[in-house]
Chain A
């Protein structure tokens, strides 16, 4: 009997350093961990370089043709280097019109992707994201109501009222979803996803009602419902940034707990996670990120869904690398989607960027789902 059991379980290591080092399997795993860390560092460096290059390239694209060298000079001047471009208008176009919008798209993309990863982790549901939870639609209702009431042109503290109305709408929708998702004092993750769908559907109907009540504001409401960066400026970046940074810090602080929570509340508790407290912090973080994104851009779907999904397929589910890379990739994806939205229509008309992300993201998501199903069925 003893001999048989030894055949199944190899002899216990004697614990000495020699026994450890003499195990080739162990050294191989440690080497592999090192390789993984290096691969992650390279990916991070590559994506960061791509982000910098993208910001510069995207600055060159627009109705007014500006030479690359002049654009570079404008950007350098913006950070206090060099004398600036030969033509002052070029500098204004590059820095105040294009760069602000590009930076905002990058920021919102990051916020949406990180919020998506976090919602998916807390709710243990790969379909949860700001859009499917109804939070984005909540922001659109807030902004639409402001437009409907004629406050669209109003300002508060030097900023349009629309972001504030959007922020209020986003937080109200999330509060409603959480209230509906609470059963007996506990957040039920399946109930919360259902509640999100109900709230989103209801709010979409409210928007339709507002649109049919006021024919004149339809076009500006549409730009909120489909999401857009048209006419956004540095003040929008500054509005979004504090909420976004706070949210990212909260989520980053508890990234490892997201891994443990994925094994279920019971196991997470048994491994030492104060589940209720940690989940509340993560929820606040994801809500801040969502509100920061949708209050300046409207409803942009698929970024929070497709990007985390893609990175998870490539790297696995561990949340620390996932959050970082999904954030960068989300920013890049939205930046280029917005460039497409600016230039794709002939005659200088703009498309809402949400249309671009939905047109690209929808089919791409189907491809990912199909590939995943094939892998699983094998």
Chain B
């Protein structure tokens, strides 16, 4: 579906990602993890075609993404931002209908068919009751659900989520990821940039860890989500145990195990923190 081949990219003259190579197959649900500034959001921007690579290539369905029109890309790839951020008061239904833009032509007038698709997306995300409310007047969790409805209304093969649940409470996080998992089961390819390690381990079958602009780890959750790997990537002591219900690996953070406290850290941890060249 998406093939990234030794891609280097960044903003202005600042290089953010260096020689990143990865491929996402149809029907995958991938979590992208890594410390702040490791290039997670930049990777999503490159994947949605907004940030042309300096070197290497990003291909969608075998074709270089730089050759696609914005409309063509938007028919294949949808994105959910971290927050809604509308400068003007729009009704939630109108925001969801914006997802139909790439499928309309001419003056951008949506037809009854587009309204049906938008309403179905709102039903799926349990946001139908918000249709008439203004997007800037609903709660953060509700607004995020509306943004996901918009991405669903876009009817794409791929949905990219950029820390879409980072600012939400636990119930909303679980509700959104349950829905995403269901959509994934129905065939959607999902790529989720996440901060919440445990949420990623609960829902994603494959994890990609970025560190300092490179892919540090890429593989099945069971293989990558280990105490040693996590401690190395995040430079703080992290232990892993099993989830009591699902059996997924879950991370536990250890007080005093941060990089600043490395001098007093136990031998095993300080070894993994060291940046071996």
A312-B98 contact given A9-B178, A184-B12, CB 8 Å threshold: no
B85 vs chain A, min Cβ distance (A) = 6
CA of A267 to CA of B50 in the docked complex: distance in angstroms?
A: 10
Q: Which of B116-124, B219-227, B258-266 binds A?
A: B116-124
Which residues of chain B from 92 to 125 have a CB within 8 Å of any chain A CB?
93-95, 98-99, 101-102, 104, 107-109, 115-116, 119-120, 123-125
Kindly report which residue of chain A lies nearest to residue B87, judged by CB atoms: A124
Task: Give every chain A residue within 8 A of B69 (Cβ-Cβ).
Answer: 274
**B24 on interface, CB distance cutoff 8 Å:** no
CA of A5 to CA of B70 in the docked complex: distance in angstroms?
A: 36
> Is there an interface contact between B98 and A263, defined as CB atoms closer than 8 Å?
yes
> Is there an interface contact between A13 and B88, defined as CB atoms closer than 8 Å?
no
Interface string of A12-33 (1 = CB under 8 A from B): 1100000010010110011011
> Is there an interface contact between B101 and A256, defined as CB atoms closer than 8 Å?
yes
Task: Give every chain A residue within 8 A of B150 (Cβ-Cβ).
Answer: 271
A162 vs chain B, min Cβ distance (A) = 36
**B71 on interface, CB distance cutoff 8 Å:** yes
Kindly report which residue of chain B lies nearest to residue A189, judged by CB atoms: B87
Residue among B49, B88, B95 with most chain A CB within 10 A: B88
A271-B126 contact given A184-B12, A316-B89, CB 8 Å threshold: no
Which residues of chain A from 264 to 283 have a CB within 8 Å of any chain B CB?
264, 266-267, 269-275
Which residues of chain A from 297 to 313 have a CB within 8 Å of any chain B CB?
312
A23 vs chain B, min Cβ distance (A) = 7
Interface size class of chain B, counting residues whose CB lies under 8 Å from the partner chain: 35 or more
> Is there an interface contact between A271 and B98, defined as CB atoms closer than 8 Å?
yes
Interface size on A, residues (CB 8 A): 43
Interface string of B147-181 (1 = CB under 8 A from A): 00010001000000000000000010011001100
CA of A30 to CA of B120 in the docked complex: distance in angstroms?
A: 12
Residue among A1, A26, A252, A255 with most chain B CB within 10 A: A26
B48 vs chain A, min Cβ distance (A) = 5
> Is there an interface contact between B115 and A33, defined as CB atoms closer than 8 Å?
yes
Task: Give every chain A residue within 8 A of B73 (Cβ-Cβ).
Answer: 270, 272
> Is there an interface contact between A271 and B84, defined as CB atoms closer than 8 Å?
no
**A64 on interface, CB distance cutoff 8 Å:** no
Task: Give every chain B residue within 8 A of A256 (Cβ-Cβ).
Answer: 101, 104, 107-109
Task: Give every chain A residue within 8 A of B85 (Cβ-Cβ).
Answer: 263-264, 267
Q: Which of B25-33, B52-60, B74-82, B209-217 binds A?
A: B74-82
> Could you list 8 examples of A-B contacts with CB < 8 Å?
A8-B178, A9-B178, A10-B123, A263-B85, A270-B50, A271-B98, A271-B150, A272-B75
Residues of B bordering A, CB below 8 Å: 12, 45, 48-50, 69-71, 73-75, 77-79, 81, 84-91, 93-95, 98-99, 101-102, 104, 107-109, 115-116, 119-120, 123-126, 128-129, 131-132, 134, 150, 154, 171, 174-175, 178-179, 182, 245-246
